[in-house]
Amino acid sequence: MIDKKFVKLGRSWGMIIPPWIIKLLDINPEQDTMNISIDKKRIIIEKAKKTD
């Protein structure tokens, strides 16, 4: 588990994801789309399924 804080990005808030997590999840941040959902008090971020 990693403790992270939010950072201000203009009028929004973001969180920096370390490169090793991106690699571990096989995410290409320049091409892949992510699905974001909420379950009670959890934010769930998943790689979107590609529609060919």
Over the range 4-33, which residues count as b (16 or more CB within 10 Å of their CB) and which as e? eeeeeeeeeeeeeeeeeeeeeeebeeeeee
pTM of the model: 0.69
Written as one letter, the residue type at 8 is K
pLDDT for position 50 = 76
pLDDT at 51 over 80: no
Report which of 47, 50, 49, 48 is spatially closest to residue 17, judged by C-alpha positions. Answer: 47
What single DSSP character describes residue 31?
T
With respect to CATH, is domain 7-47 assigned 2.60.520? no
pLDDT at 52 over 70: no
pLDDT tens-digit map of 13-50: 999 999 999 999 999 999 999 999 999 999 999 999 87
